[in-house]
Amino acid sequence: MTAPPPEAPQPAAGGGRSAQWAIPRGLIVLLVAAATVVAVTGAKAFAGVLGPVFLALMLTIAVQPIQQWMQRRGRPAWLGMLAALVVVYLILLGLVAAMAVSAAQLATSLPDYSDRFGDLLDQVQNLLARFDIDQERIDHALSGFDLGKLVEVLEDLLRGLAGAFSNLVFVVTLLLFMVFDGMSIGRRMDVLRGMRPDIAQALGSFTAGTRKYLIVSTVFGLIVAVLDGVALGLLAVPFPLLWALLSFITNYIPNIGFVIGLVPPALLALLDSGVTKMIWVIVLYCVFNVVVQSVIQPKYVGDAVGLSVTITFLSLVFWSWVLGALGALLAIPLTLLAKALLFDMDPSTRWMDVLIGGSTPGGGPPAPDGSRAGRR
């Protein structure tokens, strides 16, 4: 008795094949890498537009609690929008005006230090000559140091300030539309939470983390700015208010903002009063800024945003390369936005938080749902 012939494989439901076609994991990695390169190249090409858009988004998130507070007190939605808009306009225009006036005063006063700058170059040249360094090499090394060129750069910067106001007008206009949309963002998030809770959770985590980061950075920036401004005033360093403002702004730049804020007042102290005052400026900046920005502030920033120190530094490098100066100022919020879009929206990829998250007060890593392990 012969065995019955084997049955032919039945087609899957819907007429498809029974065997599923899977993309090799290596090919997925290559496709993701290629898509990332294309996206980053496009972002870098449109940095002039994306930078102001992200700045407007961060400012809108910062003042959104004003609208929510007004609505909770029963005030009309348009009144909360108007209050938030006035606050954010005053902050933005105040910073721009203060920087423009201070830069103009600095550019006007720098030519007075030209003789002192020349004397310092002569001293450096004599010092190098004592070490038997070839005079031609000394002249070549010092040829690029010219205070007149620095003044010309500052004057060009001030003349180009009118061009920068085109971006400022764009940011101001975009803020108007974003704050207007903020009147209904609460209802939209409620609807989204019912339809796609994972996406709503990721976006809510991004806005909460960004707002905490901005609050922490602003508070510590004000502390550092006051300490630096008072110290520079007591040392009689020219333009202490300008350097205090610079310390406040560079506090939003992670890791290296302290160095950027230190170099200009230290150099001006050297030109104005010599090496001793420059050393005092460096020492006081290190005492104030290193303690506040490198010891105290990272603890609160890391707890607020959930990013490790390494990821924070890499985000600074990456976003500075893509968007320029605005990328450096907005590196942390932009990284939080990328984290929300790429990882937090999908429960299957939230394990990445364990790798990129910073340590917590309880010593544990961030949990996959965005909460903190070890926190009670």
CA–CA gap between residue 292 and residue 219 (Å, rounded) = 11
CB 155 within 8 A of CB 107: yes
Q: Residue 77 — pLDDT band, cuts 50, 70, 90?
A: confident
* Closest by CA position to 258, among listed 215, 304, 225, 218: 225
The tens digit of pLDDT for each residue in 32-53 reads 788 888 888 888 888 888 888 8
For residue 369, give both structure tokens. 């749902």
- Angle between helix 275-285 and helix 257-273 axes, rounded to 10 deg: 160
Closest CA to 328 of 346, 339, 316, 345: 316
Q: Which of 77, 88, 57 is nearest to 183 (CA)?
A: 77
pLDDT, average across residues 364-370: 46
366 burial level (CB within 10 Å; 0-12, 13-18, 19+) = buried
User: Residues 87, 93, 95, 100: what is their CA dihedral angle, to the nearest 10 degrees?
Assistant: -170
What are the tens digits of pLDDT across the range 82-121? 888 888 888 888 877 777 777 677 767 666 666 676 666 6
With contact defined as beta carbons under 8 Å apart, do 335 and 329 qualify? no
Query: Taking the domains of the chain in order of start, what are their residue ranges?
Result: 45-183, 197-376
> What percentage of the chain carries pLDDT values higher than 70?
69
Asked whether residue 63 carries a pLDDT value surpassing 80, the answer given is yes
Tell me the three state secondary structure of residue 277: helix
What is the rounded average pLDDT of the residues 194-201? 86
What radius of gyration do the chain's Cα atoms show? 27
Residues 6+ apart with CB under 8 A from 321: 44, 327
In the DSSP assignment, the letter for residue 149 is: H
For residue range 221-232, what is the model confidence (pLDDT) as tens digits? 888 889 888 988
Q: What is the structure's pLDDT at 343?
A: 82
Pairwise pLDDT comparison (297 vs 281), residue with the higher score: 281
Longest dimension (CA), the chain: 114
Which residue pairs, CB below 8 angstroms and at least 24 apart, start in 241-249? 241/102, 242/102, 242/103, 242/105, 242/106, 245/95, 245/98, 245/99, 245/102, 247/221, 247/289, 248/221, 248/222, 248/224, 249/95, 249/99, 249/221, 249/329
Tell me what pLDDT residue 270 has.
82
264 phi/psi in degrees, rounded to 5: -60, -50
Average pLDDT over the chain reads 75
Residue-wise pLDDT tens digits, 110-160: 666 666 766 666 666 666 666 666 566 655 555 555 555 655 555 555 555
Instruction: Give per-residue pLDDT as tens, 260-290.
Output: 888 888 888 887 777 888 889 888 888 887 7
Tokens of 174: 């975009």
The total of other beta-carbon atoms located within 10 Å of residue 190's CB is 11
Looking at residue 141, its pLDDT comes to 56
Neighbours of 234 (CB within 10 A): 11
Q: Among 239, 237, 255, 257, which Cα is nearest to 247's?
A: 257
- 56, 174 Cβ separation under 8 angstroms: yes
The number of beta carbons lying within 10 Å of the beta carbon of residue 182 is: 21
